[in-house]
Structure 1
Amino acid sequence: MTKRTRSRIQAAEMGFLRRVPGVSLRDKVRSSVTREGLGVEPFLLDIERSQFRWFGHLVRMPPGHPREVFQARPAGRRPRGRPRTRRRDYISLLAWECLGIPQSELIDVARERNVWGSLLELLPPRPDHG
């Protein structure tokens, strides 16, 4: 997920959440105050949890399933410019930033269903969630 996508999701979410108590942008009420008043956690956090859940599901799948597509590395020349961020790279970066799990240990940790589930429950909101 790009920074632009994250920003747009967060802006749309806060637009919806501000309508509930009837607060406008001109009232200059912080998003965190609005969110605490409603008792709602950030939607981006929920998206990240579901992405981590799906990753754990993929890792625990038997061979011959979509897991191999996830781990595939295409052969041949790439187009010019910056390489596109692959899903596995995004997940490993997210795991490092949110959970502190290095890429080398990520698959081993995700294979342990109980450990992985408890880590996802403890997933803290990222600072840019507002």
Structure 2
Amino acid sequence: MSFLRRVAGLSLRDRVRSSVIQEELGVDPLLLRVERSQMRWLGHLVRMPPGHLPGEVFRARPTGRRPRGRPRTRWRDYVSRLAWERLGIS
């Protein structure tokens, strides 16, 4: 945001909200950019032919017991939830 403030010619003393500066400059929120890049990478993984390591790791289903406690959030879980919320794809 400090870079965007300098581009807009503002300082913190001007007391302009970050969202206003982002709208004024036409910059997407960072979370939206991250989500788009993750969905783009998911598309690459889904289309990847068998034998390529990233695709194989994505499709792998490990066996065994998981440790006690709250399950750790996996990238696959996050992306599947994101696809469900944004695109309605299960």
Same fold (TM over 0.5): yes
| From 69, 73, 76, the counterpart of 2:64 | 76
Larger radius of gyration: 2
Which 5+ residue runs of structure 2 have no aligned equivalent?
A: none
Q: 1:97: Cα distance to partner? A: 2.0
Which 5+ residue runs of structure 1 have no aligned equivalent?
A: 1-13, 104-130
TM-score (norm 1): 0.59
Partner of 2:27: 40
Partner of 2:75: 87
TM-score (norm 2): 0.80
Partner of 2:85: 97
Number of equivalent positions: 88
Deviations 1:21-54 (A, max 9, x none): 2221x54322221112212112222221111111
Deviations 1:5-24 (A, max 9, x none): xxxxxxxxx34322332221
Q: Give the alignment of 1:1-130 within 5 angstroms.
A: 14-20=1-7, 21-24=9-12, 26-65=13-52, 66-99=54-87, 101-103=88-90
Q: Is contact 1:71-1:88 (8 Å) kept?
A: no
Q: Highest relative contact order (Cα 8 Å, sep 6+), 1 or 2?
A: 1
Distance 2:25 2:19 in 1: 10
Identity of aligned residues (%): 72
